[in-house]
Amino acid sequence: MAIITWNKKYRETLGESVNRFRSQYQKYMSSKITYAGRLDPLAEGLLLLLTDNDVHKKPEFLLVDKTYQVEFMLGYQTDSYDILGLITSIQNSTNIDQEELHQKIIDTQKTTSQIYPPYSSKTVQGKPMWRWSRDGHISDITAPEQNISVKRSRYISSRVISINDFKKEYIYPLTHVQGDFRQSDIISKWEDVFDKQNHKKNIILYTAEFSVSSGTYIRSLIHNIGIELGVGGVCVKISRSQVGNFHL
């Protein structure tokens, strides 16, 4: 029996991550293993693995607070709220007021109701929301909400990356994500957007940190910040560093 802090890799699915753990630690090859707290393919970092008899402790770990760092960009929106999604809107973000951005991040510190994102595993009428979205029927249902609390939030930094480097580092490697996430269509759409923005040579990537209650979608926080700024925003990479009292 063990509760293990495991470092999930960026672009790795949960299934791949658990399989990598089993292959690296052979003594757990035949053990029961579950994880406490999902991480999307574009999220990395702390994954709590519960083994054997400890798998029954999963509910208690799902209730604890978590801390994330997120790298994001402004001026774009996608249907998944991250770059592993189809672009739905493009806005000029060159005139973003940095102080306003910092304040919007601070303003997330509150208890509020958060709508589940269209591409999530939340079940509605027996079907996960991502399936409603993929089938083109997300507008046929009312997205459920949940109460969340952002305990701490802060702006960390920004960096400039060329569009060519951004495509090489983040867009083209989406083909390596295991499973059908519409990768071909998504990469093609990003290519089209950047081709049409041929006057634009660089992208600004921002980093912020959030400590939140269990179940909070960081993708939705960034999406809402972008909407409030009038330009939209999408997550590029999410890194989880803490789950309750556990750290990487």
Q: Which position has the higher pLDDT, 54 or 71?
A: 71
Question: 48: buried, middle or exposed (CB in 10 Å: 19+, 13-18, 0-12)?
Answer: buried
CB 37, CB 6: distance < 8 Å: no
Categorize the per-residue pLDDT at 109 as very low, low, confident or very high, splitting at 50, 70 and 90: very high
Are 209 and 150 in contact by the 8 Å Cβ rule? The answer is no
Q: Which comes out higher in pLDDT, residue 55 or 137?
A: 137
DSSP-based three-state secondary structure for 90: strand
pTM beyond 0.85: yes
List of residues 6+ apart from 233 with CB closer than 8 A: 72, 73, 74, 75, 76, 77, 222, 223, 225, 226, 227
pLDDT digits (tens, 9 = 90+) for 199-233: 889 999 999 999 999 999 999 999 999 999 999 99
Of the chain, the percentage scoring pLDDT greater than 70 comes to 100
Q: CA angle, corner 9, sides to 3 and 191, nearest 5?
A: 150
Q: What is the pLDDT of residue 1?
A: 59
For 119-159, what is each residue's pLDDT tens digit?
A: 999 999 999 999 999 999 999 999 999 999 999 999 999 99
Mean of the pLDDT values across residues 100-124? 97
pLDDT at residue 248 in the model: 84
Give domain limits for the chain: 2-61, 66-247
Q: Considering only residues 199 and 76, tell me which one the structure prediction assigns the higher pLDDT.
A: 76
CATH class given for the domain over 66-247: alpha beta
